[in-house]
Amino acid sequence: MADADAPQIYLVTPPEFDLGRFPGTLDAVLKAHDVACLRLSLATRDEDRLTRAADAVREVAHAHDVALVIDTHVVLAERLGLDGVHLTDGARSVRAARKALGDDAIVGAFCGQSRHDGMNAGEAGADYVAFGPVSGNLGDGTVAGQELFAWWSEMIEIPIVAEGGLDAETVTRLTPVTDFFAIGEEIWAQDDPVAALAQIRAAMQSAG
């Protein structure tokens, strides 16, 4: 990977959550674990719902000095004063998002399994590139394989994120060749998200 440090945790919110309960759960996770970034990734496209959710989680994230980015919505990222945006269309929107949000904002790009898209996103100004899913139990079964992460971590300086279908075995395997793990439903679907993230961290440490 790009340096000798262990990968960092990049949390992704559930696609739907209770505004009255989730901030408390998130706070417990951030108290227990070091997290580099939080992505607001709701299934809804309702701007009022997204705004209220962003306000709720931003307060918690920033209390722990964790940056908050939002899926896709460049306009909302700017309007709500968020730290950046996570784009889901590869390299296509990176340049426009960078122009809209400025040099200090975080602009990330999900590029599926495409090395070519990832390189284009980096050239367009992305701060990180995410590849996934990393196991075959999501989508059509196509995965971002070990060889993609190994090549990227050796050849490209832009940070790389592994996401989608993470389990202990995959985390252990990818730890030497990724900079971040994007963790979402892997922990939120469990009864105890704090303990679930601890298990993922244990898998990372076992790779060392």
Task: Say if 208 falls within a structural domain.
Answer: no
Note the pLDDT of residue 136.
Answer: 72
Note the pLDDT of residue 140.
Answer: 72
Task: Say if 139 falls within a structural domain.
Answer: yes
- Residue 151 carries which DSSP code? H
Note the pLDDT of residue 196.
Answer: 98
Task: Say if 165 falls within a structural domain.
Answer: yes
Note the pLDDT of residue 135.
Answer: 87
Task: Say if 204 falls within a structural domain.
Answer: no
Q: 183: number of CA atoms within 13 Å, CB side?
A: 34
Task: Say if 197 falls within a structural domain.
Answer: no
Task: Say if 97 falls within a structural domain.
Answer: yes
Closest CA to 148 of 165, 168, 163: 163
Other Cβ atoms closer than 10 A to 173:
17
Write out the DSSP string of 87-120. ESSTTTTHHHHHHHH-TTSEEEEE-TT-HHHHHH
Note the pLDDT of residue 142.
Answer: 86
Residue pLDDT tens, the chain, 208 long: 334 578 999 999 999 999 999 999 999 999 999 999 999 999 999 999 999 999 999 999 999 999 999 999 999 999 999 999 999 999 999 999 999 999 999 999 999 999 999 999 999 999 999 999 998 766 677 899 999 999 999 999 999 999 999 999 999 999 999 999 999 999 999 999 999 999 999 999 998 6
Note the pLDDT of residue 2.
Answer: 37
Residue 76's domain is classified under what CATH number? 3.20.20.70
Closest CA to 180 of 137, 127, 135, 143: 127
Task: Say if 106 falls within a structural domain.
Answer: yes
Paired with 12 in beta bridges are 39
Task: Say if 159 falls within a structural domain.
Answer: yes
CA dist list (Å): 110 to 25, 79, 116, 139? 26, 22, 12, 15
| Contact criterion met (CB below 8 Å) for 51 and 40 | no
Q: How many structural domains comprise the chain?
A: 1
Note the pLDDT of residue 1.
Answer: 33
Helices (H), the chain: 22-32, 47-63, 74-79, 94-101, 115-124, 146-155, 168-174, 185-188, 193-206
Note the pLDDT of residue 208.
Answer: 66
Separation CA 94–CA 48 (nearest Å): 25
Range of the structural domain that residue 112 is part of: 8-192
